[in-house]
Amino acid sequence: MILIGLKNIFARQLPNMPKEYIVRLLMDRKHKSVMVLRNNEVEGGIPLVVGGITYRPYHRQRFGEIAFCAISADEQVKGYGTRLMNHLKEHARDVDGLTHFLTYADNNAVGYFVKQSFTKEIYLEKDVWHGYIKDYDGVLLMECRIDPKLKYTNLASMISQQRQAIDEMIRELSNCQNVYQVAEFQKKEGGSSKNIRVEDIPGLRDAGWTSDQWGHTRYKLFSGSGDSVTKQKQLNALIRGLLKTMQDHTDAWPFIEPVDSVDVPDYYKIIKDPIDLKTIGKSVESEQYYVTLDMFVADARRMFNNCRTYNSPDTVYYRCATKLQAHFFSKVQAALQSGAKPQ
């Protein structure tokens, strides 16, 4: 009955797979299934199936073929897929004696398998697996090597301990653990703006800042004479132009607004320092936040890096980040070569 529940999930989540084919492999005694069950929810006396993986171990060749992998649609983005794969790797290594997994992944599944340490390059010798696994058209063959010693089911705890050890070492070398209460960059009082001097920002001097670093930039801008006010106006004009070239680009759509936590619940758990074109635009509008081109470029670079950190290389978001970044830096270079006038 539990296998029937898993079959129903596979049938819903893998609509291109014939139901008869799913049943035949799922019920085959040569195949094994690892499942996530919700014991506190029972249907007909049977625990509710959240998802699972069906695979066939080839003991003599010491590899396994993953046939089906799916999580119920209403239970996704909760980490079940990763925990399921970790349990599978540990079981396959310790019980079945396997060293590798192979699977065919379609475009929707490639990103998941990449996050689970599967690669598009097949390092396992072809003689070991060729002729054993089933061939599929229009999908990508991927491989995962199972670490012989890693405690996969204890990964979260192990990573937490490593982070704690690294944090302790960092605290011995720096004062980054000190948190200072910093006033807002600009406050409105009676309709007028009140600016905060850089040297008055708490903790800045403790971090090693000195007054001669103010306005330091690696970019050589606006050659010739001119007071600081004039140069700041020139910098603001340059940055406005560069921002507009990003906003108008066809690949800018993922970055126009902040990521919605309702649509992407785990985004802000992974990306701790988010940034987007709307947020950058507000800083540009203040005309006082970006005192160097370096600061503006750093925010843009962070925006692209955040996107590539969260999204896998096969996604449209990752490709948009790469294309928009190339476009942005080409405009920066062109502006510098033309005397810091954005094109």
Q: Is there a catalytic annotation at residue 65?
A: yes
For residues 8-23, average pLDDT: 92
Does the pLDDT at position 341 exceed 50? Answer: no
Question: How far, in Å, CA of 338 to CA of 343, rounded?
Answer: 9
Sequence letter at residue 220: K
Instruction: Compute the average pLDDT of residues 277-301.
Output: 91
Q: Is residue 49 part of a domain?
A: yes
Q: Clarify whether residues 190 and 311 are in a common domain.
A: no
Is residue 166, in this structure, part of any structural domain at all?
no
Three-point CA angle 39, 44, 46, nearest 5°: 35
314 located within any domain:
yes
Arithmetic mean of pLDDT, 91-110: 93
Based on the fold, state whether residues 205 and 222 are members of the same structural domain. Answer: no
Q: Are residues 246 and 131 in the same domain?
A: no
How far, in Å, CA of 321 to CA of 324, rounded?
5
Structural domain includes residue 161? no
Is the pLDDT reported for residue 193 higher than 90?
no
- Of 241, 218, 185, the closest CA to residue 294 belongs to 218
Question: 323 falls in which pLDDT band (50, 70, 90)?
Answer: very high
The yes-or-no verdict on residue 225 having pLDDT over 60 is: no
Asked if residue 225 and residue 202 are part of one domain, the reply reads no
Q: Ramachandran region of residue 208, left (φ > 0), alpha (ψ -120 to 50) or beta?
A: left
Of 20, 65, 172, 285, which is the active-site residue?
65
Strand arrangement, sheet containing 32-43:
32-43, 46-58, 63-71, 100-105, 140-145
Residue 148 included in any domain: yes
| Closest C-alpha to 6, from 31, 30, 34, 29 | 34
Residue 228 predicted with pLDDT over 90:
no
Residue 322 included in any domain: yes
Q: What is the pLDDT of residue 194?
A: 59
- Are 313 and 257 found together in one domain? yes
Q: What is the pLDDT of residue 78?
A: 82
* pLDDT tens readout for residues 22-57: 999 999 999 999 999 987 777 777 788 999 999 999
- pLDDT at res. 138: 81
- In the DSSP assignment, the letter for residue 35 is E
What's the average model confidence in pLDDT over 230-247? 89
| Domain final residue pick, 164, 188, 214 | 214
Q: How many domains does one find in the chain?
A: 3
189 and 258 part of one domain: no
* Among 82-86, 284-288, 338-342, the range of highest mean pLDDT: 82-86
> 117 and 151 share a domain?
yes
Nearest 5 degrees, angle CA 328-CA 224-CA 235? Answer: 35
**Domain check: are 148 and 254 in the same one?**
no
Is residue 202 a contact partner of residue 181, using CB atoms and an 8 Å limit? yes
343 — pLDDT class (breaks 50, 70, 90): very low
CATH at 245: 1.20.920.10
Spatial distance between the Cα atoms of 92 and 56, rounded to a whole number of angstroms: 10
In a domain, 99, yes or no: yes
pLDDT at res. 308: 94
pTM for the predicted model, two decimal places:
0.55
CB atoms under 10 Å from CB of 46, counted, come to: 12
**Does residue 23 lie within any of the structural domains?**
yes
Read off the pLDDT of each residue in 90-111 and give the average, rounded to a whole number. 92
Look up the domain containing 253 and give its range. Answer: 216-337
Question: Are both 210 and 288 inside the same structural domain?
Answer: no
The chain-wide mean pLDDT, for the chain, equals 86
Confidence of residue 173 (pLDDT cuts 50, 70, 90): confident
What's the pLDDT score for residue 73?
85
User: Do 83 and 28 lie in a common domain?
Assistant: yes
Predicted pLDDT at 336: 82
> Which tops the pLDDT comparison, 243 or 76?
243
Indicate the pLDDT class of residue 310, thresholds 50, 70 and 90. Answer: very high
Question: Same structural domain for residues 126 and 235?
Answer: no
Within this chain, do residues 190 and 220 fall inside the same structural domain, yes or no?
no
